[in-house]
Amino acid sequence: MSSDEQYDPRAIQDKWQARWAELDPFKAASEDGREHRYALDMFPYPSGDLHMGHAEAYSIGDVVARYWLQKGYNVLHPVGWDSFGLPAENAAIKRDSHPAEWTYANIETQAASFRRFAPSFDWSRRLHTSDPEYYRWTQWLFLRFYERGLAYRKGGQVNWCPNDQTVLANEQVVGGHCERCGALVQKRVLTQWYFKITEYADRLLDDMAQLEGKWPERVLLMQRNWIGRSTGADVSFVIEGRDEPVTVYTTRPDTLYGATFMVVAADAALADEICAPEQRAAFEAYRDEVARESDIERLSTEREKTGVFLGRYAVNPVNGERIPVWTSDYVLAEYGHGAIMAVPAHDQRDLDFAHKFGLPVRVVVETGQADPAETGVATAGEGRVVNSGPIDGLAKADAIARITEILEGKGLGRAAVNFRLRDWLVSRQRFWGCPIPIIHCEACGEVPVPDDQLPVRLPDGLRGADLAPKGTSPLAAAESWVNVECPKCSGPARRDSDTMDTFVDSSWYYFRYCSPGYTDGPFDVEAVRKWMPVDQYTGGVEHAILHLLYSRFFTKVLHDMGMVDFTEPFDRMLNQGQVILDGKAMSKTLGNMVDLGQQIAEHGVDVVRLAMLFSGPPEDDIDWADVSPHGMAKFLSRVHRVVEDVASPPGTDPSRGSVDLRRVTHRTLADATTLIESQRFNVAISRVMELQKATRAAIDSGPGAADPAVREAAEVITVLLSLFAPYTAEEAWEILGRTAPVATAGLPAADPALLVRESVTCVVQIAGKVRDRLEVAPDISETDLESLALASPKIVEALGGAGIRKIIVRAPKIVNIVPQP
Ligand code: ANZ
Ligand code: ZN
């Protein structure tokens, strides 16, 4: 290319996209002795084309993958689609088509956009979770879970629209109403499939020790809170007129003497069972009201407390006191034992309830704070136990230990642990998902589909209105599909007509990438041993809880099955921020969307990528209004010109070049490595910008374009730029007379001899006499120099403990200390 040719981002995109397709530089290699790295991006859901959020996430993930490539590692950087899910089904109903049509058309659109956006994907490993070759193994895994007792059925609550007569997914419930018709959503109990994730609750918590310092702290915190391990005690209360005592779970057994009433969850079977006849009508009306509330509403501390007296009394096991039993919505049926002892003096919810219904308040922990009965503020802090017989005077921890011991001794209670985590409800009454590979036979019960009959494919022939919900799963209507022979007794049987939550599909896709075409199992154990755990996982913080928890759970089960030898799938995690506009997250309703395709058409891919990466640390939000695509475009064309000006041939030995420029080049190389490894991509880019400036200056007013150091600098700029702006870098590499692709050119090692900063000698005097000489940086600050001087052993010794009257610092040359006389 001649030197007067302009930098044209669009032309180089078309040129290199075609060349890269031929070169295929990003295929992860089979074993070849190099170190491995696995860079994983959260795979996309195919809803329309890629948007700004994708652009950001994949730019970030790509820096990491491309950095590892330049370091010479064998890199696995795959791509695939999370392609089952409700939006495809809704689109199919609306357009009278099949969800696959919408899904695969969108995948092709996204794939084309990805190719243009140019992440360093290994396209040969591409997968779609809705392909039978993939979901065959989702079903296979389901069956292994089933055999281990980790997949089971029980009655579970679903959202039910009484008008549409259908089950609603959580995302179809908006503010308690059906998204389709606006009717008030009800709770219904249906038999559902669950994964027993609670069996792994302790390990999911404890194994987080492996992730400390490698995952964002807030993600670890969210995981911890979601699992919610709490410790306390189970305590038995006798209910008058009932043989079996009722157990309550409490984290504060030290407050047992302060229990002034009991509360049973309105939707717990116990409430229904013990309700006295005269209270039944009130109770049932209340229970129906509660059935319409979400757990979030129920646990809100802002709402006024509601409840009904059940007309019964319980007996406090430690002091024999009779306390009334109430029902309320703030106690949840599914947590602990669905019933609590209420201690209004020390629990705010209980205090609010006591105030509303005129129930007594008794202080049993003296905290020094004002009386809760008067202030309306429960005292939850530390203090000394009072009014509590044998545990009076004890501090909280001792009181808990002592009372638990007493209860255990009398068989009235014991120490207990509770988890907030519930089993994972995996069945969905939906069409576009992975069919559950179970057959129901009247004679044999649940019968797993034999492995050699997998996959259980989705039935053909259903489309459009056939997929609309009809009370049960649309699959149940496909008679010829549903009715099968029992694999065990050959009698008439029916297929399970539910499909799996799409979170099941995404809980194991990263294993599949290690051996995508594998036909003897979900993955080749050896391939997984080679590539995994994932070295870095990049994706949105919106998946910080469920997706990661489920993936961690799957990995632990696979570990217990002997299929993998690690227990955590993702070694490091990076959550990118959001792309926002004028301070608000981009959204269709706010109308503040910026169209990615249009941005790319206007500025080119490299500018968009660079602008995203340069805007700040990757975990921060990007306000597109603050981003300067024009500044980035200018920088790229400056790089282009520097490269065109290089006047020495490829392979020129840089060692005879300008030392000043070489120092900048090697300092940039060294710093860029550290900056990229600590994910400060924006700072790394600004260092490349500085190097570009220094090179420009060397060409224009320094040793000139033919100096070997200029070529060295231009090549380092180009290789570093390939992490952020691959098209411009590739074009530059060609102009420099090198062979494509620049992506695997390799990062030269920084020469330590060129990293040594120059130093100057500083004289340290005491009362005018030279006592020490220090080698310091020429730009050292006065404060740094002063503390360096005072820390010198020779100075400490010479001062001999004398105080200091005055210090005069003239950085970097002289420090003069005037001691006390
Ligand atoms: C008496 C008490 C006194 C309590 C006190 C707290 C403070 P975590 O930490 O979440 O495990 N509780 C127990 N089961 C419940 C349920 N099904 N629904 C709602 N609340 C329930 O909280 C456990 C505490 O929450 C328990 O300790 C119980 O109230 C309440 F000064 O018992 B506590
Ligand atoms: Zn049978």
Q: For residues 682 and 771, give the distance between their C-alpha atoms in angstroms, rounded to a whole number.
A: 45
Q: Please report the atom of ligand 1 found closest to the CA of residue 346.
A: 31
C-beta of 394 in contact with ligand 1 (< 6 A): no
CA separation for the pair 126, 248 (Å, rounded): 52
Provide DSSP, 77-143.
-EEEE---SHHHHHHHHHHTS-HHHHHHHHHHHHHHHHHHH----EEEEEEETTSHHHHHHHHHHHH
Q: Is the Cβ atom of 263 under 6 angstroms away from ligand 1?
A: no
Helix (H, G, I), strand (E, B) or coil at 762: strand
CB of 257 closer than 6 angstroms to any ligand 1 atom: no
| Residues in CB range of 733: below 8 A, 6 or more apart | 718, 722, 739, 740, 741, 742, 745
CA of residue 491 to ligand 2 center, whole Å: 5
**AA identity, residue 361:** V
What is the 191 CA–ligand 2 centroid distance (Å)?
20
Q: Determine the residue of 227, 237, 247, 250 to mutate for testing ligand 1's pocket, defined as the one with the most ligand atoms within 8 A of the Cβ atom.
A: 250
347 lines ligand 1 (CB under 6 A): yes
DSSP class of 420: S
**How many A from CA of 744 to the centre of ligand 2?**
59
State whether the beta carbon of 253 lies less than 6 angstroms from ligand 1: no
799 burial level (CB within 10 Å; 0-12, 13-18, 19+): middle
Q: Is the beta carbon of 418 within 6 A of some atom in ligand 1?
A: yes
Say how many Å lie between the CA of residue 453 and the centre of ligand 2: 16
For the sheet with 424-425, list strands across it. 166-168, 151-161, 186-195, 424-425
Q: Which of 260, 296, 335, 387 to mutate to test the pocket of ligand 1 (most atoms within 8 A of CB)?
A: 335
Nearest to 679 by CA among 609, 721, 617, 726: 617
Mutation pick for ligand 1 pocket among 224, 252, 328, 407 (CB with most ligand atoms within 8 Å): 252
For 97, the token pair is: 């088509």
Instruction: Quote the ligand 2 centre to 478 CA distance (angstroms).
Output: 21
Quick check: CB of 340 below 6 Å from ligand 1? yes
Task: Name the residue with the closest Cα to ligand 1, atom 26.
Answer: 250
CB atoms within 10 A of CB 738: 17
Mean pLDDT by 10 residues, the chain (821 residues): 63 93 89 91 93 94 98 97 93 94 96 96 97 98 98 88 77 78 84 95 97 95 94 96 96 97 96 97 95 77 92 96 97 93 97 97 95 95 94 95 96 95 90 97 97 96 84 87 97 96 97 96 97 96 91 98 98 93 76 85 96 94 90 96 97 94 95 94 96 97 96 98 98 96 95 83 92 87 89 90 91 92 79
User: Rounded to the nearest whole angstrom, what is the distance from the C-alpha of residue 492 to the centroid of ligand 2?
Assistant: 7
Question: What gap in Å lies between CA 317 and CA 560, rounded to an integer?
Answer: 43
Task: Please work out whether the CB of residue 183 comes within 6 Å of at least one atom of ligand 1.
Answer: no
Q: Return the best residue to mutate from 251, 364, 369 for the ligand 1 pocket (most ligand atoms within 8 A of CB).
A: 251
What is the structure's pLDDT at 5? 57
Q: Do 607 and 636 meet the contact criterion of CB atoms below 8 Å apart?
A: yes
What distance lies between CA 631 and its chain's CA centroid? 32
Which of 597, 794, 715 has the alpha carbon at shortest distance from 70?
715
Do the beta carbons of residue 81 and residue 46 sit within 8 Å?
A: yes
Q: State if residue 255 touches ligand 1 by the CB under 6 angstroms criterion.
A: yes
Q: Distance between CA 224 and CA 569 in Å, rounded?
A: 17
Residue 250 Cα to ligand 1 middle (Å): 5
Q: What is the rounded distance in angstroms from the CA atom of residue 105 to the CA atom of residue 581?
A: 29
Run of H or E residues at 448? strand 445-448
Say whether 7 sits in a helix, a strand or coil. Answer: coil
Residue 486 CA to ligand 2 centre (angstroms): 5
Measured in Å, residue 502 CA sits from the centre of ligand 2 at: 29
Question: For position 176, what pLDDT does the model report?
Answer: 77
- Using the structure block, give the residue that is written with the tokens 């157990």: 247
Q: What distance, in Å, lies between the first and last C-alpha atoms of the chain?
A: 76
CA of residue 370 to ligand 1 center, whole Å: 23
Q: Which SS3 state, helix, strand or coil, does residue 801 take? A: coil
- Residue linked to tokens 């008067």: 374
> CA-CA distance, 657 to 256, in Å (whole number)?
82
| Partners of residue 325 on adjacent β-strands | 262, 312
SS (H, E, C) 575-598: EECCEEECCEECCCCCCCCCCHHH
**DSSP 8-state assignment for residue 316:** -
Q: Which ligand is nearest to the CA of 343?
A: 1
Pocket lining: 362 vs ligand 1, CB cutoff 6 Å: no
Dist. CA 336 → ligand 1 center (Å): 8
Count of other CB atoms within 10 angstroms of residue 581: 19
379 lines ligand 1 (CB under 6 A): no
| Any atom of ligand 1 within 6 Å of the Cβ of 331 | yes
Distance CA 153, CA 162 (A): 24
The secondary structure element, H or E, covering residue 518 is: none
Taking CA atoms only, the protein residue closest to ligand 1 atom 25 is: 250
β-bridge partners, 127:
80
Q: How far apart are CA 337 and CA 234, in angstroms?
A: 9
- Name the token pair of 561: 């099955």
**CB atoms near residue 223 (< 10 Å):** 19
User: DSSP letters of 648-705?
Assistant: S-TT--GGGS-HHHHHHHHHHHHHHHHHHHTT-HHHHHHHHHHHHHHHHHHHHHSS-T
Which ligand 1 atom is the nearest neighbour of the CA of 251? Answer: 27
**Which ligand places an atom closest to the C-alpha of 446?**
2
Distances from the Cα of 609 to the Cαs of 11, 40, 63, 577, 612, in angstroms?
A: 17, 18, 10, 15, 5
The rounded distance, in Å, linking the Cα atoms of 446 and 477 is 20
- Which amino acid residue places its CA nearest to atom 7 of ligand 1? 347
CA dist 699 → 261, 643, 710, 717 (Å): 85, 11, 7, 15
Q: 524: which 2 tokens?
A: 């080749």
Can you state the percent helix, strand and coil of the chain, rounding each to 5? Answer: 40, 20, 35
* Shortest-distance ligand to the CA of residue 336: 1
Q: Would you call the peptide bond into 812 cis, given omega within 30 degrees of 0 as the criterion?
A: yes
Q: What was the pLDDT predicted at 4?
A: 41
Distance CA 771, CA 799 (A): 10
Tokens of 752: 């330590």
Beta strands 322-328 and 261-265 are parallel
Instruction: Give 623's strand partners.
Output: 580
Separation of CA 376 from chain center: 39
pLDDT tens digits for range 32-72: 889 999 999 999 999 889 999 999 999 999 999 999 999 99
Looking at ligand 1, which residue's alpha carbon is closest to its atom 11?
Answer: 230
d(CA 276, CA 310): 6
What tokens appear for 721 in the block?
């730029």
Q: Are strands 438-441 and 492-495 parallel, antiparallel or unpaired?
A: antiparallel
Specify the residue with its C-alpha closest to ligand 1, atom 21: 331
- In 698-727, which positions are buried (b, 16+ CB within 10 angstroms) versus exposed (e)? bbeebbebebbbbbbbbbbbbbbbbbbbbb
Give pLDDT, residue 404: 97
Query: E-strand spans in 177-306?
Result: 177-178, 186-195, 229-239, 246-250, 261-265
Q: How far is it, in rounded angstroms, from Cα 202 to Cα 206?
A: 6
- Ligand 1 and 327: CB distance under 6 A: no
